[in-house]
Every structure is written in structure tokens, then in C-alpha cells.
Amino acid sequence: MRITALFLTLAFAAQAAPPLDIGSRWELFVDEYLVAQKSGVALKLAEPVRREVVLSTDQPWEGQTCGYFSVIQDGKKVRLYYRGSDGGSDHSDAQVTCVVESDDGIHFTRPKLGLIEAGGTKDNNVIWRGVESHNFAPFLDSNPNAKPDERYKALGGVKQPGKNWAQGETPGGLYAFTSPDGIHWKKMKPEPAITKGAFDSQNLAFWDSTRSRYMSFSRIFSNKVRAIQSMTSNDFLAWSDGVPHSYAKDVPAEHFYTSATVPCPTAPHLFLSFPKRFATSRVKVPGHKGGPGVSDAVFMSSRDGTHWDRPFLEAWVRPGPDIDNWTERSNMTACGIYESSEKEWSLYISEHYRHPDHRIRRLMVRKQGFASMHADAKGGEFTTKPIKVTGSKLVLNSATSAVGFLKIEALDDTGKVLAKSAEIFGDEFEANVLDVSKLTGQTITLRVQMKDADLYALRWAK
């Protein structure tokens, strides 16, 4: 493949910009952050693989409208938290928060905690009871300064009914919770910590290790469309004003019922989000008792938590051929990623909302493989923006067909080749492909030629 003179001119015009310094962090091809110019290649969304049903919410204290699942990996243990509900009011005190546990992310069991009576027994897996259980969303706090008895934190709560409740003008809001073990919880203060928002959904938070702050992502309405806002906090109690998420001008406004936003496990500077997209008026199953609306899951990413890239407007997970997934509020991605092996990550998604067999299914994705820079059998190439070399070798997460390949060259600002790889083929998650030990500290661009191949992520390594 020959690079055109115009392509070279455009690519090296980018050298006038300050070089990117990515250190040793992984950069995923979920956006075009690294890309200066491309020809014959494009970002491609990867479809997750549907795996096992890991939980059916069939206990008396659970029910057909369980929801707002959160996945937490604490050492070797995986916990799945969710609302126990059978169709009552959002403001019902009978709602409970449940937890199930697993050692492999597949086989979950209900611990018999004996804490709170629900379903006529304390012999259950309930950790909280009350209106805050409507959307109780916990996380494991990775703040290095977190107190030992506050290893876990959570947000939960709703606005009271009334005029302009969706604008946050009625009493109520999100309460801040802490726990030493993920089982025994208490409120950090009696008043809500966050009051400006609609909150009738999963409202989540986590410690942003890159910027040393807490971030929350909560429900708002924007021009009557379900939307998301972000806030920041230093102590999990005092929060900034909400900033509505923004998108490129050509991205349509769509109802995002939940966001399932998380820092990427291997690249925490990058936020990944898996919103449940809600088509409010569509009806596929006439007479369904829950009313109109169909849902799917989409994928997007952000590098600051407020400006979001949506190069993929198509669904990340479709409802599929199962007709019970074509009724309202199914296909809701749980918040959290379980690193189930060195090669795969697990996410979870709800199915059959408001049906007797409401359940949660595991989704498998390639490690860092939510999207890729892709070339088909015709081949293509791209060049990066100027990058500072901060390691001695370039490492790739990539895959090719039997006849496909990648080739990589390091170029100076005139287009001179300073280093080049051998032909790269195979399917590897951390392959050393280019020796740049003589270029450490210099600014270069990478030229990547591809054929029938996917490049998921790259980084500099020592």
C-alpha cells in the first residue's frame, strides 16, 4: 500500500500541534484521540457475546421489576447488587436492596444475611430496606485516603412527587452511604448529598483515580428527553453543580434511561458508558402490562466525563430474537466490569423486565475490545498525531485473519522512517511489535498499515 502525497502532507501538518504524552497507559481505539489521518480504515464497534443467565430474580422479596444492577469485584469475590421490587411505587418503603456473590462471575449465590425482614423472613440476601433501595448504587472506593470503615460507598434516593420534580425542585434526592464490607450500610448524613436532578433511575458514582476526585452520573431531563449529568466531589458529601453531557452536533438526542458509566479497568483515564436507550413510543408486544417502549444498549466513551464521543450510533446490544426482550425496560446494562480472565471481561445485562422469569445474563467482551480501528480485505492505513516516545517498545492488542496483517512505522516530522516493525499477524493481547529504544524521548508519528485486521489498543512499554 502506498501513502499518497496529500495524505503525507495532511498527516505531517499535525506535527505543529503539541505532542501527545500518553506515558505507559493503554489507549483504546474507542475514539479517534490518537488519529491524525486515515484512509481505508474506520472505527468498528465490537458486539459482545451473550453467555450464561447468571441470576433469576425469583425470590419473594425480589420480583419482576428488579433493576439497577451494580457489579463489584472485590479481590476474588464478585458481588451483584440490585433492587428487589415487584411493581410497587418508586417511593415505596417496601423496596429492598439485594446482593448475590460469586467466585467466578457465573455462579452466584444468595448469602443468608439475617439482617432485614423481607418476603416474610430474615433468611435472605437483603442489605437495605426503604425508598433509597429504589436505585441504591454501590461501588468499591479506590480512594487511597478512604477510611477502612468506608471501603464501600453508594448513592440512592428519589425526588418526592410534585410540580417540577424532574427539575429537582421537590424534596428528596440522593443520599450518601458507606459500608466497611459491602453488607452493613449507614447514611453518611441524614440529608441528601445531591438534590439537583431527577434521579428516577440508576445514579452512580466512583473514585476518579486519574483526577483524584469522586464523580457521579445521575438522571436529568433535557428538553423532556432522559439525559445524564456529571458532578464532582472531594469528600462524597459536597458536590459540584451538575454538568449535562454534551455530544457532537451530528449526534441525535436519545432517551438514555441509565448510563452504567465506569472507568476502563486498564485505562482509568478513559470513561466507558453503556446507556440503556429507550424508544418511548414503540410497541412490539401489544397488550404488555408495562406499557409502551422498547430498549437496547449503546456504547460511548469520554476523556473528561462531560464531553462524550459517540462514533457508534448503532446498538451495542440489540434485543435479539427473544420476544420478551422487546417489552419496556429490558436490556439494561449493569454498572461494572468484571475482569474474568487475562483475555476477557464480563459485563451483565437484564432481560425479560416485568416478566415472571426476569433475569440477568453475562456478556463477554475481549479485554479492551469494545471497539477497534478496523481494515477489511482491501486494506488501509492511518497515521497518529505526534506522540512522545515514553518507552522502549510499542505494545499492541490486535487481531488479524490468517492472511491479514499490520505494519507499523515510526516517522519523524519529514516522513522519514526511523523504525519499522515486521509484518504483524495473529491474535494477541500484549504483543511487543516495535523496538523504539533509540527514539525514547523523541516526538514521532506512527503510520499503521492494516489488512483484514483490528487494532484494539496500544501503549509504550519499558
How many CA within 13 A on the CB side of residue 256?
29
What residue ranges define each of the domains in the chain, with the CATH number in brackets? 5-46+371-461 (2.60.120.260), 49-366 (2.115.10.20)
How many CA within 13 A on the CB side of residue 103?
0
List phi, psi (to 5°) of 405. -165, 165
| Residue-level pLDDT at 7 | 53
Show the 3-state SS of 204-220: EEEEECCCCEEEEEEEE
Position with higher pLDDT, 168 vs 282? 282
pLDDT digits (tens, 9 = 90+) for 16-45: 679 999 999 999 999 999 999 999 999 999
Nearest to 259 by CA among 226, 292, 283: 226
Instruction: Say yes or no to pLDDT of 241 above 50.
Output: yes
| Residue-level pLDDT at 271 | 98
Share of the chain above pLDDT 70, in %: 97
| Residue-level pLDDT at 2 | 47
| Residue-level pLDDT at 87 | 83
| Residue-level pLDDT at 86 | 80
| Residue-level pLDDT at 16 | 63
| Residue-level pLDDT at 398 | 98
| Residue-level pLDDT at 8 | 52
β strands within 150-275, DSSP E:
152-156, 175-179, 186-187, 204-208, 213-222, 225-233, 243-244, 262-264, 267-273
Instruction: Say yes or no to pLDDT of 5 above 90.
Output: no
What number is the average pLDDT over the span 153-174?
94
Query: What value does the mean pLDDT of the chain take?
Result: 95
| Residue-level pLDDT at 153 | 98
Share of the chain above pLDDT 90, in %: 94
| Residue-level pLDDT at 416 | 97
What number is the average pLDDT over the span 141-160?
97
Position with higher pLDDT, 216 vs 15? 216
Going by C-beta distance under 8 Å and a sequence separation of 6 or more, which residues neighbour residue 459?
22, 24, 25, 26, 27, 391, 394, 395
Query: Do β-strands 49-56 and 67-74 pair in parallel, antiparallel, or remain unpaired?
Result: unpaired
Instruction: Say yes or no to pLDDT of 15 above 70.
Output: no
Going by C-beta distance under 8 Å and a sequence separation of 6 or more, which residues neighbour residue 154?
136, 137, 138, 139, 176, 177, 178, 179, 185, 205
Instruction: Say yes or no to pLDDT of 75 above 80.
Output: yes
Question: In Å, what is the CA distance from 90 to each residue of 12, 108, 135, 176?
Answer: 57, 27, 9, 18
Instruction: Say yes or no to pLDDT of 252 above 50.
Output: yes
Give the single-character DSSP code of 93: T
What number is the average pLDDT over the span 69-73?
98
What number is the average pLDDT over the span 137-145?
98
pLDDT digits (tens, 9 = 90+) for 183-194: 999 999 999 999
| Residue-level pLDDT at 218 | 98
Measured CA angle at 148 (ends 146, 152), to 5 deg: 70
| Residue-level pLDDT at 223 | 94
* pLDDT tier for residue 14 given thresholds of 50, 70 and 90: very low
What number is the average pLDDT over the span 151-159?
98
